Structure 1
Amino acid sequence: MYNNKKEIKMLDLMNVNGWAILVSSVVAFVIGGVWYNPKVFGQSWMDEHGHTLDSLGNPVKAMGLTFITSTITAWVIAVIASGLGVDTLMEGVQLGLLLGVGVMLATRYSDGLYNNQSTKLALIEGGYRAIYTLVVCIIIAVW
């Protein structure tokens, strides 16, 4: 007889590699520093928002909070990867593309539509998140 009851599996929120999470957070932060450098996408990002270097003010608070949010993101990815049994390079790439493009970039693009923001801005901001999510997934998977 077929039993269609599905067992509910709880994710283990603490069975993650803390070092991989910390390194992922640092790497995500570095990727952001390069991505938003004025010689890469930083100037275009400022132009799209109407910012100048002076109007941005002191970035210390934003950078500190961004490091915290990157750490939270890396931890959540580690929990998901652990729950799915993601532990190879290719599985990390697959998870990274699914989350990075399918969640981060797609939702950032959709948000921009409702805020009358350009596709260029959505691709700059969402692209950063997609790339760092991909890299974090790879680090978490192979560590």
Structure 2
Amino acid sequence: MELNFLAILVAALSSFVVGFIWYNPKVFGTIWMKEIGMTEEQAQKGNRLKIFGLTFVYSFMLAFMMQNLVIHQSGALGMIGGPMMIESVKPSYLAFMADYGDAFRSFKHGALHGFMSGIFLALPIISINGLFEQKLWKYIVIQAGYWVVILTIMGSIICGWK
């Protein structure tokens, strides 16, 4: 099973598409800015290249790791020592892959595991930070909701795109 770098790239870029919608002033942008105490003028002063460049790097890292969470066959590959060990695998691995090679490789299944990743990873992390930062639940729901949506979309793209 080889990496699908195009799917990973598209999944990473999906965070920008959703972010432009999610944080639009007509959706959650105005509420989010109020909750963090930022003005439009302050937002415009930010270094766009740094912000969007690092956002892409981090989104790519997330998308790259999502394949291990949403594609079950990655676990089987990991159990034999990774792709470099494929030439010396036992017949049981080959039989498993013959039986289950594309099992559960769908957009729907990836979305399920992406959603679960958002609920069980992103939500607790954002919530813990928000609690210690003494943010309101409104802020936590906006931030965590964004990541649940992103991870759901990333999981869908990465698992379903063969």
Classify the TM-score, shorter chain. Answer: 0.7 to 0.9
Contact residue 66 and residue 114 of structure 2 kept, 8 A:
no
**Is 1:65 matched with 2:83?**
no
- Whether the aligned pair in 1 keeps the contact of 2:69 and 2:113 (CA below 8 Å) is no
Instruction: For residue 131 of structure 1, give the secondary structure of its aligned residue in structure 2.
Output: helix
Cα displacement (A) at 1:112: 0.6
- Selected match of 2:68 from 58, 68, 79: 79
RMSD over aligned Cα atoms = 1.7
Query: Could you tell me how far apart the structure 2 residues matched to 1:86 and 1:105 are?
Result: 25
- Equivalent positions of 1:13-28 (< 5 A) are 15-28=2-15
CA contact (8 A) 2:111 2:154 kept: no
Displacement after TM superposition at 1:81 (Å): 2.8
Match of 2:130 among 105, 112, 121: 112
TM-score where L is the length of structure 1: 0.83
Which of 126, 136, 150 matches 1:132? 150
Tell me, which stretches of 5 or more residues in structure 1 are unaligned?
1-11
What's 1:51 paired with?
38
Q: TM-score, normalised by structure 2?
A: 0.74
Unmatched 5+ stretches in structure 2: 76-102
Pick closer, same or farther for the CA change 1:26–1:43 going to 2, 3 Å.
Answer: same
Structure 2: how far apart are the matches of 1:58 and 1:112? 22
* Aligned counterpart, 1:6: none
Deviation at 1:136, TM superposition (A): 0.3
Larger radius of gyration: 2
* Aligned-residue identity in percent: 32
Q: Distance in 2 between matches of 1:141 and 1:74?
A: 11
In the comparison of the two structures, how many residue pairs are matched? 130
Structure 1 range deviating more: 81-90 or 127-136: 81-90
Structure 1 stretches of 4+ with a deviation exceeding 4 A read none
